Amino acid sequence: MASASFQHVTKRFAEGEIAVNDMCLEVKDGEFLVILGPSGCGKSTALRMLAGVEDVTEGVIKIGETIVTNVPPRNRDLAMVFQTYALYPHMSVFDNMAFSLRLQGVDQADIARRVNTAAETVGLAPLLKRLPRHLSGGEQQRVALGRAIVRDPQLFLFDEPLSSLDARLRGHMRVELQKIHRALGATFLYVTHDQVEAMTLGDRVAVMKDGALQQVAPPRVIYDHPTNMFVAGFIGTPPMNLIPVAVSGRTAKGSALQIELPRDPRLTTGVLGIRPEALHEHASIGEPTIDMQVDLAERLGRDQLLYGTVGDDSIVARVDPHLRISYGERVQLGVDMQSIHLFDGQTGRAVL
């Protein structure tokens, strides 16, 4: 097992564009850490620098206690799994998984033992003789995973490995990946733009934007205590409602709402953050309410999403599926003050 760390790592491409900006991040030994961010924010570049296939412009990369910034990829004892799994089409599953071991000159008996063990781990034991074209997408992805596992690396790097699978298979593979992580006890660094993947897989999630880390914390903390408006808006489906407010002392006023904040945030302009589930149809005594004009009600089985407006602002609320509301109706919703957020209107930083 191994830890890995980025210490003030910056990547500037030839055109001068900064892909990764002063990144400081430690992946702990045995941890499943997910880097989450929109497309183009620098996730793959960060991962590729750790793998050694991309040069570092500034800073230091360590694996365990060793500085590997200039160590060639083959000496870093890690394996990388990509979105495109690039299996050798003319080779069986067994041979695909055995390939790198053969290159290393590992002896036949050892290869057979390691491939069989890895095949068990990823659930491919019955399919070892198949060719890739006779496998489903999920099975092919498991071959790619198996191919990484046979090498028995200290550290696994994953670059959006599930994005080419359909939703159901992705859900299944998420569960498989967690089991495999537990079984191997290895260190996993996983990058994705998919917040559901990040929230379900990660022991911790590192949210990234424009080359810069925004927040690194366990999923629950990221969800409940986003450090800024970007993180708040990026995590959660549907996303948090963000409502511009004018603040005066403890009073926050929106276009059609007024809320007494738990304390004076010492701001004049802010953005109030209310998750859809923090709005509910039965306001308790003393709870502030908002008056929502409903445009659309979406019943999802376990809950119901109401889309509409409060004054000038678009709002989504997650309410009881049995509540009967139709287009054009108004509904009064209580605001759960325990779970509201306030962001600085200038910096976007969370202040409450």
What residues make contact with Mg ion under the rule CB under 5 A? 44
With binding defined as CB under 6 A, does residue 13 bind ligand ADP? yes
Nearer to ligand ADP, 41 or 128 (CB): 41
Which helix (H) or strand (E) segment holds residue 201: the answer is helix 195-201
**CA Rg, the chain, in Å?**
24
CB of 78 to ligand ADP, least distance (A): 18
Work out how close the CB of 300 gets to ligand ADP at its nearest, in angstroms, rounded to a whole number.
30
Taking CB under 6 A as the binding criterion, the range among 23-31, 40-48, 258-266, 316-324 that sits at the site for ligand ADP is 40-48
Q: Least separation, in Å, of the C-beta of 177 and Mg ion? A: 18
| Dist. CA 97–CA 308, nearest whole Å | 53
Apex 275 CA angle, 298 and 165, nearest 5: 65
Judged by beta carbon, residue 18 or residue 131, the one nearer ligand ADP is: 18
Q: Tell which one of 44, 192, 227, 304 touches ligand ADP (CB under 6 A).
A: 44
Binding segment (CB under 6 A) for ligand ADP, from list 35-43, 179-187, 273-281, 301-309: 35-43
Q: At closest approach, how far in Å is the CB of 196 from ligand ADP?
A: 17
CB of 67 to Mg ion, least distance (A): 25
113 vs 95, 104, 109, 119, 302, CA distance in Å? Answer: 13, 15, 6, 10, 47
| Chosen residue from 40, 218, 249, 262 binding ligand ADP by CB under 6 A | 40
Our CB check for ligand ADP shows the closer of 37 and 132 to be 37
d(CA 202, CA 94): 30
As a whole number of angstroms, the distance between CA 250 and CA 260 comes to 6
324-327 — which CB contacts under 8 Å span 24+ positions? Answer: 325/294, 325/297, 326/294, 326/297, 327/294, 327/295, 327/296, 327/297
**211 or 276: whose CB is closer to ligand ADP?**
211
Give the Cα-Cα-Cα angle 221, 224, 228 (nearest 5 degrees): 90
Q: For the CB of residue 189, give the shortest distance to ligand ADP in the complex, in Å.
A: 13
Q: Is 324 exposed, middle or buried (0-12, 13-18, 19+ CB in 10 A)?
A: exposed
Q: How far is the CB of 17 from ligand ADP (least distance, A)?
A: 6
Q: Which of 23, 33, 41, 78 binds ligand ADP (CB under 6 A)?
A: 41
Of 38-46, 83-91, 258-266, 320-328: span binding ligand ADP (CB under 6 A): 38-46
- Bridge partners of residue 79, in order along the sequence: 156
Q: Is 214 in the site for ligand ADP (CB under 6 A)?
A: no
Determine if 42 is a binding residue for ligand ADP (CB under 6 A): yes
What is the bridge-based pairing of β-strands 258-260 and 251-253? antiparallel
DSSP-assigned letter for residue 123: T
**Residues at the interface with ligand ADP (CB under 6 A):** 13, 17, 19, 37, 39-45
